[in-house]
Every structure is written in structure tokens, then in C-alpha cells.
Amino acid sequence: SGVPIIPLVVGANERALSLASKLRESGFFVPAIRPPTVPSGTARLRISLTAAHQWEQIEHLLAAISGDFSAGE
């Protein structure tokens, strides 16, 4: 995206917390951002990337996120 912080809007607070927890268990620190920091109904994951991340790490993160979304959690 060209920026180091990528918001992934997931909607409900519970969904954001659940995804953040599952990602943490997989070794990724992707915090959930919820109201009042963001508007109600727009809870999101805060993905932060740096030049130190390897493509393999990013691909694993994408696979972990895709797996959660395809499961319909």
C-alpha cells in the first residue's frame, strides 16, 4: 500500500479481538483497534510493516488472515 500501517476493517469489536488473538497465537502482533479510537462498527486490525520484514513473513501473515476470513469466523 505504500504506507507502513495498514488498517484492516473487520467491523465488530468481538471479531477484531478474536482475529488479533488468533494472529498472536500464530506469532503475529496485530492489535485490534476499537471504539472510541475508531467509529462504532469499524473495529479493525492494525497491521504494521517495516523494511525488516521478509516477504515470507508477509506471506505467512496474509495466509493467516485469509484463513480466518475464509472460515467465516
**Coil, strand or helix at 69:** helix
Sign of the dihedral through C-alpha 11, 58, 22, 31: negative
Q: What is the pLDDT of residue 5?
A: 94
Model's pTM, two decimal places? Answer: 0.82
> Long-range pairs for 56-65 at CB < 8 Å and ≥24 separation?
60/26, 60/28, 61/23, 61/28, 61/30, 64/22, 64/23, 64/26, 64/28, 65/8, 65/19, 65/23
pLDDT of the chain along its 73 residues, tens only? 678 899 999 999 999 999 999 999 989 999 999 999 999 999 999 999 888 989 999 999 999 988 866 555 4
Q: What is the pLDDT of residue 47?
A: 95
